[in-house]
Amino acid sequence: MKHWWYRFYYTTRGVLWPLWVGLVNLFRRPVTIQYPHEKPRLFPRSRMMLYNDIDNCIGCLQCARVCPVDCIAIETVKADRDLGVTNTGHKKKLYVTVFDIDEAKCCYCNLCTEVCPTECLVMTPNFEGSVYDRYHLVLRFAKITPEERAEILRKAGGKTAGVTGILARKV
Amino acid sequence: MVAVPVERFEKTGEGFVLLTTVDAIFNWARLSALWPMTFGLACCAIEMMVTVSARTDLDRFGAGVFRASPRQADLMIVAGTVTIKMATRVKRLYEQMPEPKYVISMGSCATCGGPYWDHGYHVLKGVNRVIPVDVYVPGCPPRPEALYEGLLILRENPARTAPVQLQAVPCRPDDGGIEPMGPAEIGHKLKASLGDEKVLDVRADVLEPYIRIAPAALREAAQLLRHDPDLAFDFLMCLSGVDYIGQNEIEVVYHLFSFRHRHRIALKVRVPRDDPRVPTVSDIWRTAEWHEREAYDLLGIVFEGHPDLRRILLPEDWEGFPLRKDYEVQAYYHDIPVPYDIRQDFEKGTWVFEEEVRPA
């Protein structure tokens, strides 16, 4: 008889408790973020896709050197005119003719932004970058067009100040 | 198989008017019930699981029904690092899925090999080498919302909003009064038991003190180290191999630790590189079994007496031993290209310049 009461108690509790949980959650605010229409609240220092403010870039190649996956390709040419200074007061002595970041290879480690002396390379909270072709994930930040680049290189006699990343590889 | 939107069908002029409309209905039905396959390879799969959970509910778009069988699935989310060994399995799973089927390559590793694109001989450099990929999702790993966006891109959903605007001491327990032995003492004890000619070298003044043993005396030394009550090395922390190509020798290092006495030592054995044969210790420390398989897999060291000496990480028909200094990776494995194709980067990436302006 005692066992009967035990079983009665546990069975009743086992039936009623889930019902109670369901009832409570019925009136609770849903946790789902309606993603395409509302964005998730990211943390202040979220590390997502890279962005380079090329106007403040001095082409020091430090980001490309520290990059563990070698996804930053930079080419610089010595400037033949005064390019001004960056926001941080560094003098811009080089044309940054190519500044490409392959987002497909980037592993979001934040090393490149830490070494950046002018704080122009930053990690943005932008995480949306899905593409149909993987080569669309190569972000080009240099403002110099291919024609201008050819002109700059011709003036410099084909001599570059620094080449890194995939550009330094032999095909 | 690419998810073709309705407008593109009309532009290409495929089929008749009635069929075009039917196709549109079919397309809508397919893309509103994309059933992914239950299938995860690495850390990206954790984010994929979060995508299905309540916060970013993948079921809102009919893609939350993860099917356990490829025959019932029509979306393959390649979440994680695809090793060469896994690539053939991924391909087989893809072939088992019924048409129409779609593939999302999630994260850096699946897209281009990720951090392993340069030096990883064992990683497939982009899953598009074995199966056609529809959408690439960048990230390492991507956020759940990023995978969501990839799904929406696959569906070409106009509800997608504009991108976000830019903003700018090892803890050591109490010894309990037992004094650990120093490396010199351990070496002395070994020499006393085995004889001076079998213990080749005892170095206590280096960062990781070690004892070098003649290969023939390895099992004897291992038995002594394991079972002697004063030594009692009951834990083989690591077994690794080193290729000394200059001296034409291969070294096997056994890192030992004693939980009872809390002392440690490294045991080293050197064998000729052409025919590296070391007696197994897998019956003395059971940990050594798969450690020795790994050393055999990557360096080609044959452990004599090992119960099951097969490759453990790489496919069984792989050529060569990758951690040898003179190793050259094979060009193809079962028609899958293995090394990263930098030429394709130059051709299809941004790095296309006129030949005359490229610096010499």
CB A21 within 8 A of CB A13: no
pLDDT at B183: 86
Shortest Cα distance, chain B CAs vs residue A131, angstroms: 5
Give the pair of three-digit tokens for residue B121.
Answer: 């001989």
Amino acid present at A92:
K
> B164 versus B99: which is more confidently predicted?
B99
pLDDT at A27: 92
Query: Could you give the angle at which helices B44-52 and B144-155 cross, rounded to 10 degrees?
Result: 70
Residues from chain B contacting residue A135 (CB–CB below 8 Å): 348-350
B40 Rama sector, left if φ>0, alpha if ψ -120 to 50, beta otherwise: beta
Q: How far is CA A113 from CA A61, A119, B54, in A?
A: 12, 7, 34
A39 touches chain B (CB under 8 A): yes
Band of pLDDT at residue B8, cut at 50, 70 and 90: very low
Are the beta carbons of A130 and B160 separated by less than 8 Å? no
Give the pair of three-digit tokens for residue A62.
Answer: 């430090």
Q: pLDDT by residue (tens digit) across B113-153?
A: 889 988 888 899 989 889 988 899 999 899 999 998 898 88
Give the pair of three-digit tokens for residue A103.
Answer: 């987002």
Are the beta carbons of B136 and A108 separated by less than 8 Å? no
Name the 3-class secondary structure at B339: coil
CB B303 within 8 A of CB B280: yes
Q: Which residue is it, tokens 């992914």?
A: B36
What residues have CB less than 8 Å from B17, skipping those under 6 apart? none
> Across chain A, how many H-helices and E-strands are there?
4, 6
Reported as type and span, the H/E element at residue B336 is strand B336-337
Give the chain B residue whose CA is nearest to the CA of A168. B359
Q: Which residue is it, tokens 């690419």?
A: B2
Q: How far is CA B10 from CA A60, B26, B156, B192, in A?
A: 51, 14, 16, 88
Q: Is A55 exposed, middle or buried (0-12, 13-18, 19+ CB in 10 A)?
A: middle
Q: How far is CA B239 from CA B67, B183, B267, in A?
A: 40, 18, 9
> B50 versus B100: which is more confidently predicted?
B50
B81 touches chain A (CB under 8 A): no
Reported as type and span, the H/E element at residue A16 is helix A2-26
Q: Which of residues 77-106 of A touch B (CB under 8 A)?
A: 98, 100, 102-106
Which of B184, B171, B180 has the alpha carbon at shortest distance from B258? B180
CB B154 within 8 A of CB B76: no
Q: What are phi and psi of B59, to 5 degrees?
A: -70, -15
CB A124 within 8 A of CB A49: yes
Q: Across all residues in chain B, what is the average pLDDT?
A: 82
Band of pLDDT at residue B259, cut at 50, 70 and 90: confident
Give the chain B residue whose CA is nearest to the CA of A159. B359
B54 touches chain A (CB under 8 A): yes
Which of A128, A50, A53 has the alpha carbon at shortest distance from A96? A53
A156 touches chain B (CB under 8 A): no
pLDDT at B172: 42
For the four alpha carbons of B127, B132, B138 and B144, in that order, the dihedral sign comes to negative
pLDDT at B178: 60
A157 touches chain B (CB under 8 A): no
Q: What percent of chain A has pLDDT over 90?
A: 48
Q: Across all residues in chain A, what is the average pLDDT?
A: 90
- 0.90 surpassed by complex ipTM: no
CB B86 within 8 A of CB B41: yes
Q: Is B229 exposed, middle or buried (0-12, 13-18, 19+ CB in 10 A)?
A: exposed
Residues from chain A contacting residue B57 (CB–CB below 8 Å): 32
Q: pLDDT by residue (tens digit) across B237-249?
A: 999 999 999 999 9
Band of pLDDT at residue B352, cut at 50, 70 and 90: low
Strands (DSSP E) along B193-276, which ranges?
Answer: 199-203, 210-213, 235-244, 249-257, 264-272
What residues have CB less than 8 Å from B21, skipping those under 6 apart? none
What mean pLDDT do residues B78-102 have?
89
A133 touches chain B (CB under 8 A): yes
Q: Is B50 exposed, middle or buried (0-12, 13-18, 19+ CB in 10 A)?
A: middle
Amino acid present at B7:
E
Beta strands at A162-163 and A72-78: parallel, antiparallel or unpaired: antiparallel
A134 touches chain B (CB under 8 A): yes
Mutate to test the interface with B, among A105, A144, A163 (most CBs of B within 10 A): A105
For the four alpha carbons of B296, B297, B298 and B299, in that order, the dihedral sign comes to positive
Band of pLDDT at residue B22, cut at 50, 70 and 90: confident
CB B289 within 8 A of CB B306: yes
Give the chain A residue whose CA is nearest to the CA of B168. A124
Beta bridge partners of B201: B212
pLDDT at B20: 60
What mean pLDDT do residues B255-262 have?
86
Cα–Cα distance between B282 and B291 in angstroms, integer? 9
Q: pLDDT by residue (tens digit) across B270-313?
A: 999 999 999 999 999 988 999 999 999 999 999 999 999 999 88
pLDDT at B273: 92
Give the pair of three-digit tokens for residue B17.
Answer: 């008017």
